């Protein structure tokens, strides 16, 4: 950080705290009413013109809400294991929105192909202002989501319909703009963290015992030991770091934590269930551009030391023109990688006129020893944030 | 969720960071609040369209900077530095002195130069990104930054780095 940056940061800290939302809305309404009252006494013809103009200037109405019946709501019980979940958005730049689209709504898809809307889950803003995290347990039989009615997180067993809610309320404002959930395979533990690094805490819930453990904020949970006693967190920006916190339920302090810096910038996938292996992809920018790129190797990292152990080139998976995101493990030697074509335009970075479309995300099972990739299936989603696969989450 | 709800969320998330930028641009808390209020009104007027773009805060930030520059073109709105900062530093008050010095040095910059300094060294934008936001060429950003840094060194020598650090600063993030 430069002297100037320090000085500006310091000065910016003097800016008073403000709350301008309500004042702005009131002023906007007052101006709108005043404008209408000015228009009122003019002759009929002019009024007709003004009304026409006003109608044209009115904001576009939201698209018709869900065509009820197109996709059923999640039944109370008797739902089979899930293959994935995705968030719907109804104004794609290209292509058609899915039938029965609800902006920011979560849908789950079973291995049998049935699709259900999860109406209980808080709807998100598909433009990134409010994140509504979603998670699927490794066996696909339980889901975790933010229940707007309960005002906290809930875990639902899809077969039995049993719902457990977190023991403390989590205000919606705490969800931040990028939120992550990690759900243990047995559905007992649920970890929540988010960005930006707000003052309110990240949390680990024990839903069976009704207990809560605070976690450091601004980290992504990527692994939890079977008994919920040790959690592994990762950061990928501004630098890659791992943090391991052990003896979570035996102490009330954060003294059993270890943070390790990794040299280089990587996007780690979920931690292998043995808790000792992490693989990542190296991310960066295309030279001369602001668009992302992925290096053609799978990188083995030691989460205890931060060292790069080895690099294994991908085979059968092209990183050229694609971005690769690692997800959870499908076996002792295989991790899921989802691959999506780079759709970045230079203008996207600053312009406010971007409207996204659904993009294909092709899933591969990659052998971490040989790098060989086996194609699994292709999903469609707005962004990697809005595509959830069973298992522990990764950093992206 | 009506459109005002999503606007409220947007404001709740981004108003403080926009306020900090507004404060650095104007140097006055009341002017900064006025500036941000004007920009938020503009954003609310366009919210039905903006609510579905990927990055509404980028629009707000761009509007903020451009609104500030157009404000400052008005002759009546002059920001006058008040008293000089204390000479030397009182060990425990160093940061206060530094803030005063920086505020006064910024106040002596023309609006575009000040915007370039804030965007490049506070918002951490690249020259390319700054040029796009200000609708000018990269060359203009470079020259504005050069003149602004020279002016800052002149106005606040106690804050400026040694010459080798300055060279390093110039070389970064091109």
Co-location of A368 and A278 in the same domain: yes
Structure confidence at residue A169 (pLDDT): 92
Query: Quick check: helix, strand or coil at residue B113?
Result: helix
Q: What is the pLDDT of residues A55-91, one digit of tens each?
A: 333 333 333 333 334 589 999 999 999 999 999 888 7
Structure confidence at residue B51 (pLDDT): 64
Structure confidence at residue B22 (pLDDT): 92
Q: Binning pLDDT at 50, 70 and 90, where does residue B31 land?
A: confident
Going by C-alpha positions, the residue among B90, B154, B141 that lies closest to residue B113 is B141
HSE-up of A109 (CA within 13 Å, CB side)? 14
Q: What is the pLDDT of residues A138-147, one digit of tens each?
A: 999 999 999 9
**Would residue A317 count as lying in a domain?**
yes
The tokens for A343 are 């759709």
Please indicate if any CB of chain B lies within 8 Å of the CB of A3: yes
Please indicate if any CB of chain B lies within 8 Å of the CB of A350: yes
Going by C-alpha positions, the residue among A151, A150, A155, A202 that lies closest to residue A176 is A202
Residues of chain A in contact with residue B16, where contact means CB-CB under 8 angstroms, are 15, 17-18
A251 or A82, higher pLDDT: A82
The tokens for A214 are 């605070």
CA angle, residues A326, A331, A334, in degrees to nearest 5: 45
Distance CA A387, CA A162 (A): 24
Residues of chain B in contact with residue A344, where contact means CB-CB under 8 angstroms, are none
Contacts of A90 (CB under 8 A, 6+ apart): A62, A63, A97, A101, A102, A103
Min CA distance, B19 vs chain A (Å)?
7
Co-location of A270 and A211 in the same domain: no
Among 2.10.260, 2.60.40, 2.30.30, 1.10.1740, name the CATH number for the domain at B1-73.
1.10.1740
Co-location of A28 and A159 in the same domain: no
Q: Binning pLDDT at 50, 70 and 90, where does residue B161 land?
A: low
Q: Is the pLDDT score of A269 beyond 90? A: yes
Q: Among all residues of chain A, which has the CA nearest to that of B40?
A: A24
Distance CA A391, CA A139 (A): 7
Interface test with B, best of A3, A25, A175, A352 (most B CBs within 10 A): A352
How many Å is the Cα radius of gyration of chain B?
Answer: 18
Q: Tell me the mean pLDDT in the region B59-66.
A: 90
Tell me whether strands A211-215 and A202-206 are parallel, antiparallel or unpaired: antiparallel
**Would residue A289 count as lying in a domain?**
yes
A91 or A253, higher pLDDT: A91
Min CA distance, A13 vs chain B (Å)?
7
Please indicate if any CB of chain B lies within 8 Å of the CB of A286: no
CB atoms within 10 A of CB A362: 17
**Would residue A240 count as lying in a domain?**
no
Q: Tell me the mean pLDDT in the region A367-388.
A: 91
Mean pLDDT of chain B: 76
Please indicate if any CB of chain A lies within 8 Å of the CB of B170: no
B66 or A345, higher pLDDT: B66
Structural domain for A364, as ranges: 265-396
Structure confidence at residue A288 (pLDDT): 67
Co-location of A67 and A41 in the same domain: no
Co-location of A269 and A391 in the same domain: yes
Structure confidence at residue A382 (pLDDT): 81
Co-location of A70 and A48 in the same domain: no
Please indicate if any CB of chain A lies within 8 Å of the CB of B102: yes
Question: Is there a contact between A8 and B118 if contact means CB atoms under 8 Å apart?
Answer: yes
The tokens for A76 are 């109370």
Min CA distance, B55 vs chain A (Å)?
5
Going by C-alpha positions, the residue among B28, B60, B26, B65 that lies closest to residue B41 is B60
B119 or B81, higher pLDDT: B119
Structure confidence at residue A289 (pLDDT): 66
Structure confidence at residue B11 (pLDDT): 85
Q: Where in chain B is the domain with CATH 1.10.10.10?
A: 94-174
Structure confidence at residue A34 (pLDDT): 65
Q: Is the pLDDT score of A110 beyond 80? A: yes
In the listed set A58, A77, A103, which residue is the last one of a domain according to the structure?
A58
Co-location of A81 and A178 in the same domain: yes
Q: Which among A7, A21, A123 is the nearest to B8, CB-wise?
A: A21
Q: Where in chain B is the domain with CATH 1.10.1740?
A: 1-73
Reported pTM: 0.59
Q: Tell me the mean pLDDT in the region A370-392.
A: 90
**Would residue A2 count as lying in a domain?**
no
Co-location of A211 and A107 in the same domain: yes
Please indicate if any CB of chain A lies within 8 Å of the CB of B35: no
Q: Binning pLDDT at 50, 70 and 90, where does residue A175 land?
A: confident
Structure confidence at residue A6 (pLDDT): 80
Please indicate if any CB of chain A lies within 8 Å of the CB of B80: no
Please indicate if any CB of chain A lies within 8 Å of the CB of B131: no
Co-location of A90 and A182 in the same domain: yes
Q: Is the pLDDT score of B81 beyond 60? A: no
Question: Is there a contact between B16 and A28 if contact means CB atoms under 8 Å apart?
Answer: no
Which of A39-48, A170-179, A243-252 bottoms out in mean pLDDT, i.e. has the lowest?
A39-48
Residues of chain A in contact with residue B23, where contact means CB-CB under 8 angstroms, are 11-12, 14-16
In the listed set A180, A200, A218, which residue is the last one of a domain according to the structure?
A218
Question: Is there a contact between A125 and B9 if contact means CB atoms under 8 Å apart?
Answer: yes
Q: Among all residues of chain B, which has the CA nearest to that of A131?
A: B9
Q: Which among B15, B128, B169 is the nearest to A2, CB-wise?
A: B169
Q: Is the pLDDT score of A364 beyond 60? A: yes
Please indicate if any CB of chain B lies within 8 Å of the CB of A93: no
**Would residue A139 count as lying in a domain?**
yes
- The question of ipTM being above 0.90 is answered as no
Co-location of A70 and A210 in the same domain: yes
Of A95-109, A122-136, A244-258, B59-73, which one has max mean pLDDT? A95-109
Q: Tell me the mean pLDDT in the region A108-130.
A: 82
Interface test with B, best of A4, A88, A171, A178 (most B CBs within 10 A): A4
Structure confidence at residue A333 (pLDDT): 92
Question: Is there a contact between A15 and B23 if contact means CB atoms under 8 Å apart?
Answer: yes
Question: Is there a contact between B95 and A10 if contact means CB atoms under 8 Å apart?
Answer: yes
Q: Among all residues of chain B, which has the CA nearest to that of A122?
A: B1
Q: Tell me the mean pLDDT in the region A323-344.
A: 89
Distance CA A44, CA A42 (A): 7
Residues of chain A in contact with residue B169, where contact means CB-CB under 8 angstroms, are 2, 4
**Would residue A253 count as lying in a domain?**
no
Please indicate if any CB of chain B lies within 8 Å of the CB of A197: no
Question: Is there a contact between B24 and A20 if contact means CB atoms under 8 Å apart?
Answer: no
**A:B CB pairs within 8 Å:** 154
Min CA distance, B71 vs chain A (Å)?
19
Q: Is the pLDDT score of A117 beyond 90? A: yes
Question: Is there a contact between A8 and B56 if contact means CB atoms under 8 Å apart?
Answer: no
Min CA distance, B87 vs chain A (Å)?
17
Q: Binning pLDDT at 50, 70 and 90, where does residue B40 land?
A: very high
Co-location of A203 and A66 in the same domain: yes
Please indicate if any CB of chain B lies within 8 Å of the CB of A372: no
Distance CA A352, CA A88 (A): 21
Q: Is the pLDDT score of A377 beyond 80? A: yes
Question: Is there a contact between A20 and B161 if contact means CB atoms under 8 Å apart?
Answer: no
Distance CA B99, CA A9 (A): 10
In the listed set A13, A33, A58, which residue is the last one of a domain according to the structure?
A58
Contact between residue A162 and residue A156 where contact means Cβ atoms under 8 Å apart: yes
Co-location of A389 and A321 in the same domain: yes
Q: Is the pLDDT score of B170 beyond 70? A: no
Q: Is the pLDDT score of B63 beyond 50? A: yes
Which of A135-139, A193-197, B137-141 bottoms out in mean pLDDT, i.e. has the lowest?
A193-197
Number of folded domains that form chain A: 3
Residues of chain B in contact with residue A23, where contact means CB-CB under 8 angstroms, are 37
CATH number of B94-174: 1.10.10.10
Structure confidence at residue A380 (pLDDT): 87
Please indicate if any CB of chain B lies within 8 Å of the CB of A239: no
Residues of chain A in contact with residue B44, where contact means CB-CB under 8 angstroms, are 24-25, 28
Structure confidence at residue B54 (pLDDT): 63
Residues of chain A in contact with residue B56, where contact means CB-CB under 8 angstroms, are 127, 129, 352
Distance CA A153, CA A172 (A): 10
Q: What is the pLDDT of residues A4-29, one digit of tens each?
A: 888 888 888 888 888 888 888 888 88
**Would residue A50 count as lying in a domain?**
yes
């Amino acid at each position: 950080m430069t002297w100037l940056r320090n000085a500006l940061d310091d000065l910016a800290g003097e800016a008073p705290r403000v709350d301008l939302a309500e004042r702005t809305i009131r002023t906007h309404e007052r101006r709108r009413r005043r404008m209408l009252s000015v228009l009122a006494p003019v002759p009929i013809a002019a009024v007709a013109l003004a009304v026409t103009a006003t109608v044209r200037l009115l904001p576009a109405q939201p698209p018709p809400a869900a065509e009820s019946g197109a996709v059923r709501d999640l039944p109370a019980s008797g739902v089979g294991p899930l293959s994935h979940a995705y968030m719907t958005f109804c104004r794609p730049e290209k292509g058609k929105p899915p039938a029965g689209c609800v902006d920011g709504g979560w849908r789950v898809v079973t291995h049998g192909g049935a699709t259900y809307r999860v109406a209980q889950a808080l709807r998100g803003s598909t433009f990134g202002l409010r994140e509504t995290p979603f998670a699927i347990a490794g066996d696909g039989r339980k889901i975790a989501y933010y229940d707007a009615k309960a005002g906290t997180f809930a875990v639902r067993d899809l077969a039995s319909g049993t719902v457990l809610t977190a023991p403390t309320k989590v205000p919606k404002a705490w969800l931040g703009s990028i939120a992550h959930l990690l759900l243990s395979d047995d559905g007992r533990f649920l970890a929540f963290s988010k960005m930006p690094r707000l003052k309110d805490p990240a949390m680990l819930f024990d839903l069976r015992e009704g207990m809560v453990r605070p976690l450091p904020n601004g980290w992504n949970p990527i692994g939890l030991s079977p008994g919920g006693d040790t959690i592994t967190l990762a950061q990928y920006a501004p630098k890659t770091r791992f943090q391991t916190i052990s003896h979570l339920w035996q102490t009330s302090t954060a003294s059993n934590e270890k943070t390790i810096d990794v040299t280089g910038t990587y996007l780690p996938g979920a931690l292998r269930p043995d808790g000792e292996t992490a693989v990542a992809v190296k991310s960066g920018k295309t030279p001369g551009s602001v668009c992302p790129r992925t290096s053609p190797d799978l990188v083995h990292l030691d989460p205890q030391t931060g060292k790069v152990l080895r690099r294994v080139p991908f085979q059968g998976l092209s990183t050229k023109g694609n971005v690769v995101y690692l997800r959870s493990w499908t076996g002792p030697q295989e991790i899921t990688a989802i691959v999506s074509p780079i759709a970045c335009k230079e203008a996207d970075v600053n312009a406010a006129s971007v409207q996204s479309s659904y993009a294909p995300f092709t899933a591969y099972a990659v052998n971490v020893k040989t790098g060989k990739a086996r194609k699994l299936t292709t999903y469609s989603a707005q962004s990697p944030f809005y595509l959830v696969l069973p298992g522990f989450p990764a950093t992206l | 969720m009506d459109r005002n709800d999503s606007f409220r969320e947007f404001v709740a998330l981004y108003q403080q960071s926009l306020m900090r930028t507004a404060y650095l641009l104007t140097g006055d808390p009341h002017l900064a609040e006025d500036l941000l209020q004007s920009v938020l009104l503009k954003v609310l007027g366009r919210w039905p369209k903006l609510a579905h773009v990927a990055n509404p805060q980028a629009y707000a930030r761009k509007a903020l900077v451009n609104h500030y520059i157009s404000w400052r073109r008005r002759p009546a709105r002059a920001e006058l530095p008040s008293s000089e900062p204390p000479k030397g530093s009182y060990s425990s008050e160093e940061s206060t002195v530094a803030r005063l010095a920086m505020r006064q040095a910024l106040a002596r910059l023309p609006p575009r130069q000040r915007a370039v300094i804030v965007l490049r060294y506070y918002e951490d934008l690249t020259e390319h990104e700054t040029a796009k936001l200000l609708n000018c060429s990269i060359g203009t950003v470079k020259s504005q930054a050069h003149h602004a840094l020279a002016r800052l060194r002149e106005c606040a020598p106690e804050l400026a780095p040694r010459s080798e650090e300055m060279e390093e600063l110039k070389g970064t993030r091109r």
